[in-house]
Structure 1
Amino acid sequence: MEQYMQQELTDKIIEQAAILYDADPTTITKIGGFENFVYEYHKNKQDYILRFVHSGHRTYDLVLAEIEFIDYLDHHDARVSTVVHSIHDKIAEKITINSEHYFTVSVFEKARGDLVKNEDLTAEFYQMFGREVGKLHRLTKTFNPKHKRPQWYEENFSDIANKYLQYDSEIIDLYQQVEATIKSLPKSIDNYGLIHTDLHFGNMFYDGEKLTFFDFDDSAYKHFLSDIAIIIFYHFRGLDNRHEKYNEKVRFILHNVMKGYQLENMLDLEFFKHLNEFLLLRSVILYVVMTAAGFDQHENPRYREVHAYRREASINNWVAVDLDYVLEGL
């Protein structure tokens, strides 16, 4: 999130949200958030997630569209967090900051389980993971929303890059090239639709048997392959194609994910020849978002190191895989 948004979430705003959802403000604690502000509270033996979205990040209507999608998935047996209604029976509430800005507030039942651990990452886990993603993609084909989420390229990352990286034409040009390439790919109901777009392990909990997905803040109309590329990309943060085991590990993940995925949805395997474009797109976008969030000026040197690495990984395309090897036998 941009830094000014952090300054506008005051105790008064949090207290207003507590009233709207009949929550005890003394039980509300901050638990994180990168693009939004995420809190937790306890009520009637149940844990809940309280989320604040700044209007500078998403409009009220866009948040409504996100939550409408989650609610639809939940009612069709997808593994997502259940939406909680406010005291006004709304799935989202608007809290005014000033004449220009506001927060959109929403609440979800906290997902069962905990973050995925390294020891969980077996072939069976990835097959289960793939099947749940396949279910999301199957269900999106029949979703008819009242409120509309954006096309992925309407996020205007190019504008954000120009604002924060006007000195770095190499990154700006790279983003525009990759964006243009992916925009030109064919689209149909069988390969393109409303998807999560951010399926890294920070956006799901695992209870030992099943995953539950949350944080659909970045959901957009995009190629289904993007969700699969994200699974691969975030498994290898800090590990890239300079490592001798990189392609072997990508192959293991992809083959098991698709073994489960195809039990729920079919995706033309010919489309996987574009996997590297989607991996590179995420790498560049992540660098742009990190820059907007001030990683390059963070007091913690680790943040600055990660930021610098992400630029090098993007410019040098360290995320690319050996497609012949990785896709063989898929």
Structure 2
Amino acid sequence: MLTEEDYAKVAKEALIQYPIMCEKLVYIGKSDNVTFRVHTNDDNQKFLIKIHISTSSNKSKDNIESELIWLEALAGDTDLTVPAPVRNLKGDLVTDISTDHSNNKFIVTIHHWVNGEVLYREPTSSETANLALLMAALHKHSMQWNAPDGFNRPVYNSDHLFSSLNQLKQLVNLKIIPSEAFVHVEESAHKIANLIQSFERSQSNWGIIHSDLHESNYVFYEDIPRPIDFSNCGYGFYLFDMAETFLHLSFENRKIFIASYSKVNQLQENYYELLEAFFIWSIIRNFAFHSLNPNEQQSLAESFPSVIQDYFIKYLNGENFLLN
């Protein structure tokens, strides 16, 4: 098992291949990636280095490169502050690293550091309005941008929905959540899938989305939100992107978000029905993700009954729940 010091050696080996003079490396953390902040002799110029260690099929080299292609386009085409990638001395977005101290091969990427503060709380009404404008700007770019050949990112469709459902069902098999409650989840998933399949995709409702814009994946700088993690970006409905963010907003802030977003991008007539369906889908996705961690399974089981009552049963009964 590699240590923090081992990963630091990988980072330093990678930095040789970039036009960056590193003064200091600061370890940030480890998840799907091991991350360091790169300090230079200019306090205003910092970088984020990622050592990609996930073995997920969504983390292949071409998949990672595609994420950076969109980030590079966003940085070049918009006024948004995003973690724009840095190309290495060969002009590549992704760098392969092999080191003497390890038999492992690593994929490394470097991004411009995005200054700002994580909220660690519910955003205020004005912050929520600005967050909606950020999402609207991302969607506006997506509507107008043509991905290059070979662009490879996840697709958030009914297959993805059922993949999450099957993952979550493992908690039933482990007798962590009751099968009689899970029936409501299965029925909801099938209802959502039918809606997805009848929902005609168009340039105005489907494209590249962030898909994970919550309080850990954006920072605020002088009251302006900046997205900082695009690792789950992929093809999906713009309303699904919004529903994911709604998981982390109060009823009132959801209303503010819709009003602010609508000033930039017009919502379709049946947007509310779709938002509620995609909100349920987002719950399934998030529960499935956290179910992979044995340390979180018990807390999921404890929250499951109220989530079924407050959301799934209401959704199946046609009761509105998203804004009240």
Give the secondary structure class of the aligned counterpart of 2:141. Answer: helix
Alignment-mate amino acid for residue 301 of structure 2: A
- Show the counterpart of 1:60: 61
| Bigger mean CA deviation after superposition, 137-146 or 85-94 | 85-94
Q: Hey, what's the Cα distance between the residues in 2 that align with 1:291 and 1:103?
A: 27
Q: Cα distance, 1:135 vs. partner?
A: 1.0
Q: Hey, what's the Cα distance between the residues in 1 that align with 2:272 and 2:68?
A: 30
- Show the counterpart of 1:116: 119
Give the secondary structure class of the aligned counterpart of 1:37. Answer: strand
Q: Give the unaligned 5+ runs of structure 1.
A: 236-248
| Bigger mean CA deviation after superposition, 101-110 or 163-172 | 163-172
Offset from partner CA, 1:51-89 (integer Å, 9 cap, x none): 232351211111111111111111122332222122322
- Show the counterpart of 2:108: 105
Q: Cα distance, 1:186 vs. partner?
A: 3.0
Give the secondary structure class of the aligned counterpart of 2:216. Answer: helix
State whether residues 7 and 34 of structure 2, in contact with CA within 8 Å, keep that contact through their aligned partners in structure 1.
no
Q: Cα distance, 1:312 vs. partner?
A: 4.1
Q: Hey, what's the Cα distance between the residues in 1 that align with 2:2 and 2:271?
A: 39
Q: Cα distance, 1:194 vs. partner?
A: 0.7
- Show the counterpart of 1:42: 39
State whether residues 97 and 107 of structure 2, in contact with CA within 8 Å, keep that contact through their aligned partners in structure 1.
yes
Q: Cα distance, 1:174 vs. partner?
A: 6.2
Q: Cα distance, 1:223 vs. partner?
A: 0.9
Q: Cα distance, 1:275 vs. partner?
A: 2.1
Q: Cα distance, 1:216 vs. partner?
A: 0.9
Q: Cα distance, 1:11 vs. partner?
A: 5.0
The answer on 1:308 being equivalent to 2:310 is no
Q: Hey, what's the Cα distance between the residues in 2 that align with 1:317 and 1:19?
A: 54
State whether residues 93 and 109 of structure 2, in contact with CA within 8 Å, keep that contact through their aligned partners in structure 1.
yes
- Map 1:105-184; keep pairs closer than 5 Å: 105-116=108-119, 118=121, 121-146=123-148, 147-153=151-157, 156-157=163-164, 160-161=167-168, 166-167=173-174, 170=182, 173=186, 176-177=189-190, 180-181=193-194, 183-184=196-197
Q: Does the C-alpha gap of structure 1 residues 280 and 33 become closer, same or farther in structure 2, counting only changes over 3 Å?
A: farther
Give the secondary structure class of the aligned counterpart of 1:212. Answer: strand
Q: Hey, what's the Cα distance between the residues in 1 that align with 2:170 and 2:311?
A: 25
Q: Does the C-alpha gap of structure 1 residues 182 and 22 become closer, same or farther in structure 2, counting only changes over 3 Å?
A: farther
Offset from partner CA, 1:203-246 (integer Å, 9 cap, x none): 111012311112111111111111211222023xxxxxxxxxxx
State whether residues 119 and 220 of structure 2, in contact with CA within 8 Å, keep that contact through their aligned partners in structure 1.
yes
Give the secondary structure class of the aligned counterpart of 1:211. Answer: strand
Q: Cα distance, 1:270 vs. partner?
A: 1.6
Q: Cα distance, 1:326 vs. partner?
A: 2.6
Q: Cα distance, 1:141 vs. partner?
A: 1.0
2:15 to 18, 28, 31: 18
TM-score, normalising length from structure 1?
0.76
State whether residues 246 and 254 of structure 2, in contact with CA within 8 Å, keep that contact through their aligned partners in structure 1.
yes
Q: Hey, what's the Cα distance between the residues in 1 that align with 2:117 and 2:260?
A: 22
TM-score, normalising length from structure 2?
0.77
State the identity %. 17
State whether residues 140 and 194 of structure 1, in contact with CA within 8 Å, keep that contact through their aligned partners in structure 2.
yes
Q: Does the C-alpha gap of structure 1 residues 11 and 49 become closer, same or farther in structure 2, counting only changes over 3 Å?
A: closer
Q: Cα distance, 1:104 vs. partner?
A: 2.7
Q: Give the unaligned 5+ runs of structure 2.
A: none
Question: Which of structures 1 and 2 has the bigger CA Rg?
Answer: 2
Q: Hey, what's the Cα distance between the residues in 1 that align with 2:171 and 2:16?
A: 37
